[in-house]
Structure 1
Amino acid sequence: MQRFAERLKRIVFGSPIATDSARPETLRTRLALAVFGASILSAVAYGPDALIDALESAHQRGAIPYMAAGVVGIMLLLGAAYASQVSAFPNERGDYGLVRDKLGRRWGVITGASLLTDYVFTVAVSIAALTEVVVFAFPHTAHWMRAIALGVLAVMTLANLRGIRDRVRVLVTVWNGFLVVVIAVVVLGWLRRTEGAVPSSPADAPETWPLLVAYAGAVASGAVMATGVEHLASAGPHHAEPRGTRAARTLLIAVTASAAAFLGVSLLAWTHGVSDFGNGPVVVQVADRVLRHEAAIWVVIVSVAAILYAAASAVFRRFSRISSLLASDTFLPRQLTMRNDRLVLRGGILAVAVLSAVVLVASGAQIERLIHMYIVGVFTSVVLGQIAMVRWASNRIALATEPRESVALHARRTLHIAAGVVASAVLIVTATFNFANGAWIAVVCIVVLVLLMHGIARHYAKVRADLAVPADGHATALPSATHGIVLVAQLHRPALRALAYAKAARHSTLKAVSVQMDRGATAALEKRWTQLEVGVPLVILDSPYRDLVGPVLDYVRTLHRSSPRDAVVVYVPEYLVGRWWEQLLHNRSTARLRAQLLQVPNVVVAAVPWKLESARQAAPVLEPEDPALSPDPST
């Protein structure tokens, strides 16, 4: 069974990868666009939907072009700010490291919690959007949205646990293919509109301009398009030299391309009367109105699904990396820094998978419910990142000696101030107007994560203080003596092996201990003990209430009280089994006893394994000569 499980594991997750064979991969701009730009470009699949939904709710459909232009302005401003940031700090993995170093660990924790929250909702939103595409293509699956979403998530999780390196050619095909498809739809849509081949829907004349609040809410909803900018900035270390220049160039190209695609799709949705979430993704609805050919529609559907899958899959890796950084800074469990035999940060991948599954199930994989939770986390990170950049620029200005350098730094500081103000406005508007629609969930998640991370950090600080070697070296002092105790229930081969190991350790004293719960069995054990001339005193502990743990604990504690500086080693024979269900039949009482003994000061518990036949058959190995059958080492 164990061999089968191992083979199945290798088939599913792949063969182990040696640490020395893993080389860091750096990419040029053309390839980096495809590998790291999926997140921001994939937002074209749901960004126009959020904008149109917000405007239609306010009965201001005629304002779509203006609000879309506002979203594009936000994207370009943040793109320029992050290009400045990544060129200055190309080796930082996004906002967390920057904020931690420039503003302090406390603000770094808030940034990290915001990013983790954002990444979970990014995965959920991308998969929900992909599910919506599937339902648009196959309407009869509308009642299975949760199942479809969880199925996609399961496949994605297995692929990331396997550590499949997305082939660059595949990602290039997905990224460029989606961009080409969107450009083709936009160009063809505008050509047919001007030629009159497709009658354009009459634009809602803005005869009654809405309140500024409605516009602000629409722009904030459409700002989901800007959430991928921070994701791009975290990819700086993966660019080839000159790293800062290439990373900034990649970011600007990806932001510009995504902004143009978003604007084109939004304008076509306005002119062709495409509605919001209810009838499928806006980009697919636009393609359906424009292309009017089934094969072409399927090309659009496949390209949209592919870019959404690529975006969500990339977030798995980003989540595991940021959680690993937080864990290395003691804000999350250390296990998140450990890689498996495929060099994958398994803990982070499983965490984002489980959390995303909870979000998808709770929301019914409905993107219109998720979209309002999406912006809070990333824009909190953006605001703090821009504040950190303003502080950095101000410090550099104070040290600048050249006028040209001072002017350039002043310009950069102004850029980051503007980006921070705009991002703050988007964050406030989103948290205010979408609070009841789900933004409160993101706020609560961030607050809970911050409190949890501070609690974990305090725990690790206490552990470090507890484990530190004192200056007087008292912790390294040797015990005055060691006493060996071998637990014996009956005199069989496992017990003889434990006795042999204990004799080989040459303790100051060595005794075998048996708990009497049946007088007949105890008498038989004493008789057998005398016959075999074991050479170790046998101590019988009476247990009138048939308790195994209590008498042994009392005996060991008595030894400790009589000699507090001595160490006591308790040898416990244990069975190794080859079938999972056999574990339920053995070692239950000894496991409980061992857990209790470990709480007694200066007590060491030594488990002496004995393989049963099922274990020997499951994993045959060359056994050394059984010490139980060897001559007594003390003689």
Structure 2
Amino acid sequence: MMSRWKRLLIGRPMKSTEIEGEKLSKLKALAVLSSDALSSVAYGTEQILIVLMAAGFAAVWYSIPISAAVLGLLLILVLSYRQTIFAYPAGGGAYVVAKDNLGVPSGLLAGGSLLVDYVLTVAVSSSAGTDAITSAFPSLHDHRVMIALVMIVFLTVMNLRGVTESASVLAVPIYLFVIAVFVLIASGVIKYLTGGIHAAVPELGSTVSHISLFLLLKAFSSGCSALTGVEAVSNAIPNFKQPAERNAASTLVMMGTILGVMFIGISLLAYWYGIKPDPENTVVSQIAAATFGRGWLYFIIQGVTALILFLAANTAYSAFPLLAFMLAKDKYMPHAFMARGDRLGFSNGIIFLGIFSALLVVAFHGETENLIPLYAVGVFIPFTLSQLGMMIRWIKLRPRGWVSRFVVNTIGMLTTLGITLIFIVTKFSQVWMVFIFLPLVIGAFYRVQHHYRNTADELRIDPSQDKPVIKGSTIVVPVAGVTKVVLQSIGYAKSLTDNVVAVYVGFDDESIEKMEKKWEEWNPGVRLIVLRSSYRSIIRPVMKFIDTVEWKTADTDHITVLIPQFITKHWWENILHNQHGLLLRTYLMTKKDVVVATVPFHLQR
């Protein structure tokens, strides 16, 4: 039953040789990896205006130079990550750059920040998309958590089906959003040039009282939330068709160009229209209404905007599993994150991301606005470390033309560092937990690596000296009666060794006497040891028996407990039987010198 449902939801298993068919073309990769960055157009300009309105409507003209500054930082990041793609074609982005050039602690800080950021991306995006739906249909407000969870489940299943299939499905709404925004910008610009806009807005460069450098920097840092997701392409290079690094670099440039044009276009239209932030009406909604009225074009733009806010989470589903794979390969995360699933994706990473983001949505009741500053800090820390790492790389290697690259990374590092500090200073009450959570994540990375290192040391052998030593074994067979299950188990045990004993736990004299009589009549050639249990426990007497009896001799170095167990024909029939065998096996697995094995007997009806 479970297998059929799995095949229905996820699809048929794919051969390892089909991995090349799962690689992404540039157009599909642009849709999969840019949804987070492109969706930020829906709120980037709005975040700038919200901060500027603290100085009054006269300050809104500052949104244009601030947007231009954000555009300049986007250019620096695109150029920097393009260099990173060619320098580190195996992927890993900020984690690999920082680890290689700044040391392991910096790499783990970058990797941990990005992993947390991707979890936050899914939670915030699904909640933001839910907000758009409940704004249009207020009656659904009480079901916002369930709507967000359904969307997370949908994205999780889509990504478990494979990168290519999810890209084919999700590309349609993402490109519809891009087309819709470009139509909106083009229509708005034409309306402005033809004199169709008559908003009374402050002129560029006009004097504004109550404005401060701190406020402008805060507005700039808020606008930089539009740059989240830019790093995803450099993390996901292995997902591209060959030549992977060239295709990744081209995709990054296309994403940066589209994002830049849409962002500056929305900012210009917001200024020309004299848009003011409204909690109940987004900036994009106000621009669309002013340009087209509340007709069908307006509702199309609103619809695809809500959809892109949902699908912004898909970038995390593409980047998180690959980054987790990189960390697992370096032994900082469980090896399970290195395993490919039936559809050749890193399914454990996908499932982990879906579960933890769903837990966040439930914990915050779908109201994840307070996570946005933490979400922004989580991405600008890796931005800064990546830029600094590339600076160190150019100084060490000094390739031809390295000075101009070094200057680009230096400007980027100083800018992203400044933005990170502004976020921390201005929104400390919302981001303080990063100073607790990130050290815990990094500590967990070191604990995982410490375990793997200790395990490797204990398992390592010297092929020239360490050879198998074969000694005898005593087999203990716990029995509950004289049945075919016991018959099969005793037969198997005697095929391995002559040192076999059966152990029976009795609760009263009558049951013990009855068992001894049956065993004597059967006489399987195996000694029966009877244990009395005064407290009606089966596990404790068997454990005590194994602990107290001296088994080890010159010819015997360990004991094997062979547990008979019958397997029911239908899964639900298991609940009709006591599972003493499973409990005994669980307890015995913790003992050092005991080997535990199970002999299954399959019931036919």
TM-score past 0.5 threshold: yes
1:49-102 deviations in Å (ceiling 9; x for gaps): 222222224544342222222211211121222222223333323222222223
> What is the alpha-carbon distance in structure 2 between the residues aligned to residue 170 and residue 201 of structure 1?
44
Classify the secondary structure of the residue corresponding to 1:182. Answer: helix
Q: Which amino acid in 1 is paired with 2:470?
A: L
Amino acid at match of 1:412: R
The answer to whether structure 1 residue 384 and structure 2 residue 377 are counterparts is: no
Cα offset for 1:424? Answer: 0.6
Structure 1: unaligned runs, 5 residues or longer: 618-635
> Which of 25, 45, 49 is the matching residue for 2:46?
49
CA RMSD of aligned residues (A): 2.6
Q: Structure 2: where are the runs of 5+ without partners? A: none
Structure 2 residue corresponding to 1:516, chosen from 479, 492, 506: 506
| Structure 2 Cα separation of the partners of residues 358 and 315 of structure 1 | 16
1:554 aligned onto 2:544 = yes
Quote the residue 1:600 is aligned against: 591
- Pair 26,511 (structure 1): closer, same or farther in 2 beyond 3 Å: closer
Q: 1:562 to 1:543 in 2, by over 3 A?
A: farther
Alignment of 1:60-459 (within 5 A): 60-163=59-162, 165-166=164-165, 172-203=171-202, 206-208=207-209, 210-276=211-277, 278-366=279-367, 368-397=369-398, 405=400, 408-436=401-429, 438-459=430-451
Instruction: Measure, in 2, the Cα distance between the counterparts of 1:169 and 1:499.
Output: 57
**Contact 1:569-1:603 at 8 Å conserved across structures:** yes
Whole-Å Cα distance in 2 between the matches of residues 587 and 7 of structure 1?
29
Q: 1:524 deviation in Å?
A: 1.5
- The letter for the 2-side match of 1:121 is L
The 3 A distance-change label for structure 1 pair 541 and 382 is same
C-alpha spacing 1:270/1:444, structure 2 compared with 1 (3 Å): farther
The aligned amino acid for 2:544 is: D
Distance 2:234 2:257 in 1: 15
Separation in 1, partners of 2:537, 2:360: 47
Which of 513, 520, 530 is 1:540 aligned to?
530
Equivalent position of 1:631 in the other structure: none
Q: Cα distance 1:5–1:238, how it changes in 2: closer, same or farther (>3 A)?
A: closer
Please list the CA deviations of residues 529-588 of structure 1 after superposition, one character each: whole Å capped at 9, or x if unmatched.
222231212222233444323332233234446538522111211232345554344343
Larger displacement relative to structure 2 (175-184 or 38-47): 175-184
Q: Which amino acid aligns with 2:530?
A: I
User: Structure 1 CA distance, aligned partners of 2:278 and 2:366?
Assistant: 13
Secondary structure in structure 2 of the residue aligned to 1:229: coil
Aligned amino acid, residue 251 of structure 1: L
Distance in 1, Cα, partners of 2:90 & 2:348: 24
Aligned to 1:626: none
Separation in structure 2 between the aligned mates of residue 159 and residue 478 of structure 1, nearest angstrom = 51
What's the offset of the Cα at 1:8?
A: 2.4
Q: Is the 8 A contact 1:55 1:61 kept in 2?
A: yes
| Counterpart for residue 10 of structure 1 | 7
| TM-score w.r.t. length of structure 1 | 0.87
Q: CA deviation at 1:218?
A: 0.9
Task: Decide whether aligned partners of structure 1 residues 264 and 388 sit closer, same or farther in structure 2, where only a CA change above 3 A counts.
Answer: same
Judged with a 3 Å threshold, the aligned counterparts in structure 2 of structure 1 residues 584 and 64 are, in CA distance, closer, same or farther, namely same
TM alignment of 1:616-635, pairs within 5 A: 616=604
The alpha carbon displacement at 1:275 in A equals 3.5
Distance, in Å, in 1 between the alignment partners of 2:19 and 2:412 is 38
Q: Deviations over 1:22-46 (max 9, x none)?
A: 3255555455433433222121122
Task: Please state how far the C-alpha of 1:372 moved relative to its aligned partner.
Answer: 1.4
Preserved contact between residue 552 and residue 558 of structure 2 (Cα < 8 Å):
no
Distance 1:206 1:459, change over 3 A: farther
How many pairs are equivalent?
600
Structure 2 contact 477–563 (Cα < 8 Å) conserved: yes
CA distance in 1, matches of 2:26, 2:13: 31
Q: Is the 8 A contact 2:502 2:527 kept in 1?
A: yes
Query: 1:5: how far off?
Result: 3.2
In structure 1, what is the Cα distance between the partners aligned to 2:210 and 2:41? 27
The answer on whether the counterparts of 2:91 and 2:235 sit within 8 Å (CA) in structure 1 is: yes
* Contact 1:482/1:568 (8 A) holds in 2: yes
Out of 378-387 and 579-588, give the one that drifted further.
579-588
Residue 39 of structure 1: aligned partner: 36
SS in 2 for 1:165: helix
SS of 1:476's partner is coil
Find the aligned partners of 1:247 and 1:575 in 2 and give their Cα distance: 55
Query: Which letter does structure 1 place at the counterpart of 2:415?
Result: V
Q: 2: CA distance between counterparts of 1:168 and 1:147?
A: 25
Report what 1:527 is aligned to: 517
